[in-house]
Amino acid sequence: MQIFRITAILTLVFILASYLQRFRRPALDKIFISLLLLTGILFIIYPELTTRLAHFLGIGRGADLIFYLAILGFGYLSVILYAKIKRLEDQLIALIRKQALDSFSQHIEKHD
């Protein structure tokens, strides 16, 4: 097996182990990530599967299929991360406003 294949497989196994160990996510998320990474390992071991799947879907090469899927995946990831960042910003703003109002109320009570 080529050095790249071994390195890629070991990297995917490390990513999967790290994800399962470090993140407390719902079981469905863990199953999805596990299947995704195991599919990646399968495609590394048997690259002809990507070519067959690409031809079935009307795409010329397996590498093109993987590239298109990566673009879709990164687009989805970008939208999800943006939504999470926006939600955290909104929570931070609400917390700062509450803290400012509480601080102001305490200041007013001291001077009454």
Tens of each residue's pLDDT in the chain, 112 residues = 689 889 999 999 998 888 888 877 788 888 888 898 999 999 999 999 999 999 999 999 999 999 999 999 999 999 999 999 999 999 999 999 999 998 888 888 787 6
How much is the pTM? Answer: 0.68
* Cα 112 from Cα 110, distance rounded (Å): 6
For 23-39, write each residue's pLDDT tens digit: 777 888 888 888 989 99
CA atoms of 18 and 23, how far apart (whole Å): 8
What are the φ/ψ torsions at residue 12 (nearest 5 degrees)? -65, -40
In angstroms, the CA 96 to CA 80 distance is 24
79, 82, 86 from 94: Cα distances, Å: 23, 18, 12
